[in-house]
Amino acid sequence: MKKKLQETGITVPSGNRGELSGSGIVADFEWDGQSNLKITIKEKPFIVSCEIAAMKIKQFVRQCHGS
């Protein structure tokens, strides 16, 4: 998933927690190394609603075979 994010221009730190950034979005992530991923959006463009941002994140996770 990190590789795919980086391919789309999102900056992803190494490790299981940190800050993602790109395309005007800044988010914290925390992964337990197994199956639980928590993403908290800290900043987003004004024109992007919270609902759309959440939907896009869920779609991306599903594309990477997550739920």
Could you read off the pLDDT of 10-46 as tens digits, one per residue?
888 888 999 988 888 899 999 888 888 899 999 999 9
**CA gap 65, 67 in Å, rounded:** 7
Contact indicator for 48, 41 with CB cutoff of 8 Å: no
Is the overall model pTM greater than 0.85, yes or no? no
Q: Which residues of 1-35 are buried (b: 16+ CB within 10 A; e: fewer)?
A: eeeebeeeebebeeeeeeebbeeebebebebeeee
